[in-house]
Amino acid sequence: MRTPSRIAVTGSSGLIGSALVRSLRADGHHVLRLVRRDARATDEVAWDPDRQWVDTVGLLGCDAVVHLAGAGIADRRWTDDYKRRIRDSRVLGTAAVAEALATLDVPPRVLVSGSAVGVYGYPGERPVDENAPPGDGFLARVCQEWEEAAEPAVEAGIRTAYARTGLVVAREGGAWGRLFPLFRLGVGGRLGSGRQYWSFISLRDHIAALRHIIDTEELSGPVNLTAPEPATNREITSAMGRVLRRPTPFPVPAAALRLALGEVTEDMLGSQRVLPRRLLDTGFTFAHPRIEQAVRAALTPYDPRAA
């Protein structure tokens, strides 16, 4: 995107979406935000993911679409109703976007559609890259359906990439946004055994990776958005303690986590050692490849000019 482009973004009010919008606009790109109400500004396009409807007129002339909308995985306890919301917000929303783009006479050249490393299940200490098969469990099934919902865009000839995101290290939101206050209070600690791998990525690297996918013609299909050096929960706990200069004396037993949080606990205790093979193979350079670098970066406000 060396010249200004017209780019549409769903989920633009979320942690990643809002940072991406700021980054693109800082470089002079015209960004359209898909909103779930009537459009009120010139940079808004109305859509209703539940009804699988998008105002396609607003998407005319777009060079790229980045689809990030979806209910938060760790926002609340996983009841049957909330699990349905997690699934539907992703699958129905993606189908709406993909089908709308497929109807355009001149579709965008690329759709970057959100996904997650949850697609791999919990392979333990074994490293996995984009060639690994899908895993088992609720999140793995959701991720598979999520990606399959973008098929209309693929069939329409739109280059479609699935951004399989790991845990984004940021203070402003997401799962990590809940960890920082605990560690600052000195009550942070390892979860369960602490041996499980967490595949993380700094917010700056995540935004830069999304933009790399938009710009890189050979990138389609699954692309892992994780740092190249996954860390165990024990290593992450130590890094958080060092950076914040707080003790980390309180391990949280697995049984206590399950009692407090229910089924979502398995996502915290499951081990995922995911490698960003396709990003590395296409020349992407990480600013924060190690966990301590990512934690330190999260302590300063996100600067779109740095991504």
Angle between helices 291-298 and 233-244 (to 10 degrees): 40
- Residue 213, phi then psi, degrees to nearest 5: -65, -45
Tokens in use for 14?
């979320």
Q: Which pLDDT does position 182 carry in this prediction? A: 84
Phi, psi angles (nearest 5°) of residue 129: -125, -165
What is the per-residue pLDDT for 25?
96
Q: What is the CATH number of domain 6-306?
A: 3.40.50.720
Pairing of strands 30-35, 44-48: parallel
The pTM of the full predicted model, rounded to 2 decimals, is: 0.94
Q: Which of 215, 52, 36 is nearest to 44 (CA)?
A: 36
**What are the residue boundaries of the structural domains of the chain, listed by start?**
6-306
At residue 179, the pLDDT reads 83
pLDDT tens by residue, the chain, 307 residues? 556 699 999 999 999 999 999 999 999 999 999 999 999 999 999 999 999 999 999 999 999 999 999 988 877 788 899 999 999 999 999 999 999 999 999 999 999 999 999 999 999 999 999 999 999 999 999 999 999 999 999 999 999 999 999 999 999 888 888 888 888 888 888 888 899 999 999 999 999 999 999 999 999 999 999 999 999 999 999 999 999 999 888 777 667 656 555 666 676 778 999 999 999 999 999 999 999 999 999 998 887 876 4
What local confidence, expressed as pLDDT, does residue 261 receive? 54
The pLDDT value recorded for residue 173 is: 82
Q: Which residues contact 89 (CB under 8 A, 6 or more apart)?
A: 49, 69, 70, 71
Give the chain as a DSSP string: --S--EEEEESTTSHHHHHHHHHHHHTT-EEEEEESS---STTEEEEETTTTEE-GGGGTT-SEEEE-----TTSS---HHHHHHHHHHHHHHHHHHHHHHHT-SS--SEEEEEEEGGGG---TTSEE-TTSPP--SHHHHHHHHHHHTTHHHHHTT-EEEEEEE-EEE-SSSHHHHHHHHHHHTT----BTTS-SEE-EEEHHHHHHHHHHHHH-TT--EEEEES-SS-EEHHHHHHHHHHHHT------B-HHHHHHHHGGGHHHHHS--EE--HHHHHTT---S--SHHHHHHHHTS---GGG-
Q: Are 24 and 31 in contact (CB under 8 A)?
A: yes
